[in-house]
């Protein structure tokens, strides 16, 4: 059965319910031009077979249907150029007036978030010069995928650290917020530390701290995380698609991506399905898009962290509410593998000072704690005079409790903590009854 415009319109009809405007554009584009469009696609994609085979259930398959899907999906899910960290209506493959108008309508929204997405680049890695995409999710914090971060970082005895690379030198990571098509400029910041990398059985997420000094340009603003995600919402994946040999239909890849890779791209699409720990979208992505921000065209908020996909079938992302849940715990140091800083590892730390007046024993149930990020704890209970030299100041790794203590003990431990931590440069002040975040 020859492939014709009828097959194209049938494939385009899949968008009728989810996206009526796009369906109408596809219908007009293919109506009456089926044969010419098919011949053009066959020449550009080196497909010569026009016969559509069928399965046992009578469903069409074979080269004819492959060609149909190629034509429709290339027009329905295009990829656009990002220039000067702004969205454009420059298509790398087939164009779409519907998507062009949507990008224009969302221009101011997209231009606020695009500068916050960058390419994760490496030094001393034996295999890669860059490994994926990341974006600013909180002040000085970049989020990317676990499988991206594990190329250069690992969990060790003292927490997360950079892997050794070439010549046994530690690897280094940085984020470049430019790397655009036909532009050589860069805007790079180094990664100061690895805050957390998820386990393989958890959401594919990693958080890293970006090194930022007073002489640097200000970091781009964090992309706000959406409170909820809704199926069929219009979105765009912002990231760095790489040449991906795993995709079997390389001609289709070239048709959509214009044979340009490793540069910042905007790929519009829709949310397909939403679950608690996973969402599906259908933006056009490739391997380097791992870690891309999936943002709402209506709000500019990130609805997900892209991590994987089946080319032109479905892509998968960690939903924004899950990313937020993990981010809050990371900022509190509550995620597995995040080692607390102890007195012995702090620079210039002195041995604990001894209080000059008797205090209560450690048999009670109240505690005074400081999370800065260490916790200094003193137990208060039934009054019993003891030798002041034996009064403990304990570094605790437990989750902080609400601070409650008697006023005399408060002042005693406050004085001891200030003397003990006086030479630690990262501690600005110690106060009673406060827990510091962010």
pLDDT in tens, 324-353: 999 999 999 999 988 653 333 333 333 333
- Residue 215, pLDDT above cutoff 70: no
Please give, one letter per residue, the 3-state secondary structure of 396-435.
CCCCCCCCCCCHHHHHHHHHHHHHHCCCCCCCCCCCCCCC
What's the CA gap between 330 and 333, in Å, rounded?
A: 5
pLDDT at 212: 81
The better pLDDT of the pair 403, 224 is held by 224
* Lowest mean pLDDT across 131-135, 154-158, 172-176, 420-424: 420-424
Note whether 318 and 384 are within 8 A (CB): no
Measured between alpha carbons, how far is 22 from 147 in angstroms, rounded to an integer?
34
| pLDDT given for residue 335 in this prediction | 94
Select from 161, 166, 175 the least CA-distant residue to 132: 175
Return d(Cα 64, Cα 67) in angstroms, integer: 5
Alpha-carbon span 399 to 393, nearest angstrom: 17
Distance, CA of 239 to chain centre = 10
Is the predicted pLDDT of residue 313 greater than 90, yes or no? no
Of the candidates 383, 438, 428, the one whose C-alpha atom is nearest the C-alpha of residue 408 is: 383
Cβ neighbours of residue 348 closer than 8 Å, sequence gap 6 or more:
423, 424, 425
Average pLDDT over residues 207-213: 90
Tell me, what's the pLDDT at 83?
95
How far apart CA 120 and CA 58 sit, in angstroms, is 47
Percent of the chain with pLDDT over 90: 49
> From CA 249, how far away is CA 284, in angstroms rounded?
13
Looking at residues 240-258, what average pLDDT do you find?
A: 85
Of 102-116, 193-207, 292-306, 414-428, the least confident: 414-428
Per-residue model confidence (pLDDT) at position 64? 44
E strands, 221-313, are: 234-239, 265-274, 279-281, 293-296, 302-310
Q: In angstroms, what CA-CA distances link 22 with 153, 299, 352, 405?
A: 43, 21, 69, 65
Q: Inform me whether the pLDDT recorded for 169 exceeds 80.
A: yes
Q: What is the pLDDT of residue 422?
A: 79
Collapsing DSSP to helix, strand or coil, 290 comes out as coil
If we measure between CA atoms, which residue out of 196, 180, 279, 198 comes closest to residue 238?
180
For residue 37, what pLDDT is reported?
53
Segment 128-162, tens digit of pLDDT = 999 999 999 999 999 999 999 999 999 988 899 99
Find the mean pLDDT for residues 246-259. 83
> What is each CA distance from 195 to 12, 152, 174, 203, in whole angstroms?
45, 13, 14, 15
Higher pLDDT, 157 or 51: 157
- pLDDT given for residue 408 in this prediction: 58
Q: What is the pLDDT of residue 133?
A: 98
Question: Helix, strand or coil for residue 368?
Answer: strand
Closest CA relative to residue 176, chosen from 224, 226, 217: 217
Q: What pLDDT, on the 0 to 100 scale, is given for residue 32?
A: 57
pLDDT at 12: 76
Q: Is the pLDDT of residue 382 over 90?
A: no
Average pLDDT taken over every residue of the chain: 77
Between 181 and 437, the higher pLDDT residue: 181
Q: pLDDT category, 58, cuts 50, 70, 90?
A: very low
Structural domains in the chain, sorted by start: 5-76 (no CATH), 80-94+228-319 (2.40.10.10), 343-420 (no CATH)
**Residue 398, pLDDT above cutoff 60:** no
Q: Give the whole-angstrom CA distance, residue 437 versus residue 325.
A: 15
Overall average pLDDT of the 161-177 stretch: 95
Query: Which is more confident, 159 or 391?
Result: 159
β-bridge partners, 267: 237
Give the pLDDT of residue 412: 76
Q: Which of 193, 192, 195, 233 is nearest to 317 (CA)?
A: 233
Pairing of strands 53-54, 394-395: unpaired
Single out the residue of 112, 269, 113, 209 nearest to residue 426, CA to CA.
209
Cis peptide, bond prior to residue 335, ω within 30 of zero: no
């Amino acid at each position: 059965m020859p492939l014709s415009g009828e097959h194209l319109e049938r494939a385009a009809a899949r968008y009728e319910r989810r996206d009526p405007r796009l369906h109408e554009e596809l219908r007009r584009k293919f109506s009456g031009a089926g044969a010419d469009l098919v011949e053009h696609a066959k020449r550009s994609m080196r497909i010569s077979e026009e016969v559509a085979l069928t399965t046992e259930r009578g469903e069409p398959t074979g080269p004819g249907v492959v060609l149909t899907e190629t034509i429709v999906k290339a027009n329905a899910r295009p990829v656009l150029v990002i220039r000067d960290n702004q969205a454009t209506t420059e298509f790398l493959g087939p164009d779409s007036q519907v998507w062009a108008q949507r990008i224009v309508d969302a221009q101011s929204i997209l231009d606020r978030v695009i500068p916050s997405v960058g390419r994760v680049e490496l030094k001393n890695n034996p295999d890669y010069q860059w490994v994926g995409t990341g974006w600013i999710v909180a002040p000085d914090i970049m989020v990317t995928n676990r499988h991206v971060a594990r190329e250069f970082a690992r969990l060790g005895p003292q927490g997360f650290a950079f892997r050794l690379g070439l010549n046994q030198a530690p690897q280094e990571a940085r984020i470049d917020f430019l790397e655009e098509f036909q532009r050589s400029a860069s805007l790079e910041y180094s990664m100061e530390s690895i805050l957390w990398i998820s386990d393989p059985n958890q959401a594919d997420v990693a958080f890293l701290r970006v090194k930022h000094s007073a002489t640097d340009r200000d970091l781009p603003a964090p992309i706000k995380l959406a409170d909820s995600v809704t199926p069929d919402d219009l979105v765009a994946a912002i990231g760095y698609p790489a040449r991906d040999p795993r995709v079997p239909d390389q001609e289709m890849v070239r048709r959509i991506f214009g044979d340009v890779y490793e540069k910042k791209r905007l790929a519009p699409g829709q949310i397909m399905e939403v679950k608690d720990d996973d969402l599906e979208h259908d933006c056009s992505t490739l391997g380097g898009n791992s870690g891309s921000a999936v943002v709402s065209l209506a709000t500019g908020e990130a609805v997900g962290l892209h991590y994987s996909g089946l080319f032109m079938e479905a892509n998968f992302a960690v939903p924004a509410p899950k990313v937020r849940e993990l981010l809050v715990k990371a900022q509190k140091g509550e995620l597995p593998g995040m080692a607390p800083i102890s007195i012995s590892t702090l620079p210039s730390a002195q041995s604990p000072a001894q209080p000059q007046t008797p205090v209560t024993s450690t048999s009670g149930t109240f505690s005074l704690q400081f999370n800065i990020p260490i916790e200094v704890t003193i137990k208060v209970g039934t009054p019993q005079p003891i030798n002041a030299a034996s009064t403990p100041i304990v570094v605790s790794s437990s989750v902080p409790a609400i601070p409650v203590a008697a006023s005399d003990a408060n002042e005693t431990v406050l004085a001891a903590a200030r003397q003990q931590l006086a030479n630690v440069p990262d501690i600005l002040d110690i106060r009673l009854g406060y827990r510091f975040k962010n």
